[in-house]
Amino acid sequence: MGRTASSSRSRARRIARRLWDELGASHPRQLLAALVERYQEHDVLTYASAISFQTFFALIPLALFALGLLGSLHLQEVWQRDIAPEVRTGFSPAAFGVIDGTVRQVLERRQLVWATLGALIAVWKVSAAVRGVMGILNRVYGAAEHRRFLRRFAVSIALSIAVSVLVLSAVAVVQLGPLMAQALLGRSAAVAVAAFLARWLAAIALLLVAVGLLVRFAPDTTRPWRWVTFGAVVSVGGWIGMSLIFAFYLTHIANYASLFGNLATVIVVLEYLYLSVIAFLTGVLIDGLTRQRAAHER
């Protein structure tokens, strides 16, 4: 037990030291100038638009999959007790009635069908976004695409499944973590603090693994197995920041009672996905630049 704890602390110190070395190797002004140059060279904003557009069309099947899975696991009370009350406040009674009826139908009938159908469509759409990621990462790392079509397609499908599971797991941990902690440990201030720290640490770890998988397997070149890098921290931190702002908009600003409010929400969702992809690609660019500079200085 003591040896395991000592090994974990040693590993954490090595990761922290590597992050500090990578950060120290990146002079802010030079890094910013190089980053702007890479944005132009690799046409990052165009790729971000294409990737976010494909991801947008995966949201509805992903929601169907999540609801079908909740129904299959007999967790209908999660919708009734935790999600529906928050949704009710943002919609008119008539609109909420339509949403609630649709969700209940998915939760209570043919859950396996909805979960399977949603998963298949979501994987298909996310794999298209992953192929966009494969293209931009090949450009960033200077790799030519030599994989045959079927192999490239298979890699994109495998990555889309893995990344979708990791991201959905991170969201589930953040949303359902407090409920699980209360069910297992009861209600207290100490449990609330511990649950808050544990769920965010677990979510960050899951997202870092997702970024690591994309960076390792998406480009057609050999990449080192490093889950925690300065660039990965920027990618995950940027995505979490965008998600918190997006959640604040949905719960405190969005107006679902008018046509304009609903159109604005669609635009905000697209913008959220676009900025999240930019955050991810920025982290990838920073990762490549900091490693290049660190290697050059050594």
**Cα–Cα distance between 136 and 48 in angstroms, integer?**
9
DSSP-based three-state secondary structure for 168? helix
DSSP 145: -
Mean pLDDT for 263-267 is 82
> Is 5 within a domain?
no
The alpha helices in the chain, defined as continuous H runs, are 2-24, 28-42, 44-56, 59-72, 76-77, 84-88, 93-108, 111-140, 149-185, 189-217, 230-248, 259-297
> Is 8 within a domain?
no
> Is 10 within a domain?
no
Structure tokens at 70: 């909740």
DSSP 229: -
> Is 266 within a domain?
yes
Residue 281: name the closest of 202, 193, 204, 218 by CA.
218
Cα Rg of the chain (Å, integer): 21
C-alpha distances out from residue 208 to 103, 124, 179, 215, 233, Å: 31, 23, 24, 10, 7
Full domain range(s) for residue 239: 28-297
> Is 143 within a domain?
yes
> Is 110 within a domain?
yes
| Mean of all residue pLDDT scores within the chain | 77
**pLDDT for res 155:** 92
Structure tokens at 296: 């050059």
Structure tokens at 27: 């002079």
Measured between its terminal Cα atoms, the distance across the chain in Å is: 38
Locus of tokens 């909805």: 114
pLDDT digits (tens, 9 = 90+) for 198-247: 888 888 888 888 888 888 888 887 766 665 577 778 888 888 888 888 88
Count of domains observed in the chain: 1
Question: Can you give the pTM of this predicted structure?
Answer: 0.75
**How many other CB atoms are found less than 10 A from the CB of residue 108?**
10
pLDDT class of 189 with cuts at 50, 70, 90: confident
**pLDDT for res 157:** 93
With beta carbons less than 8 A apart as the criterion, state whether 82 and 174 touch.
no
pLDDT digits (tens, 9 = 90+) for 7-58: 555 554 555 455 445 455 456 676 677 778 888 888 888 999 999 998 888 8
Residues near 9 by Cβ (< 8 Å), separated by ≥ 6? none
pLDDT digits (tens, 9 = 90+) for 94-126: 667 777 777 777 777 766 777 788 888 888 888
> Is 56 within a domain?
yes
> Is 135 within a domain?
yes
C-alpha distances out from residue 127 to 117, 121, 149, 153, Å: 15, 10, 13, 8
With beta carbons less than 8 A apart as the criterion, state whether 87 and 96 touch.
yes
pLDDT class of 292 with cuts at 50, 70, 90: low
The sign one gets for the Cα dihedral 269, 241, 85, 123 is positive
Q: pLDDT above 90 covers what percent of the chain? A: 10
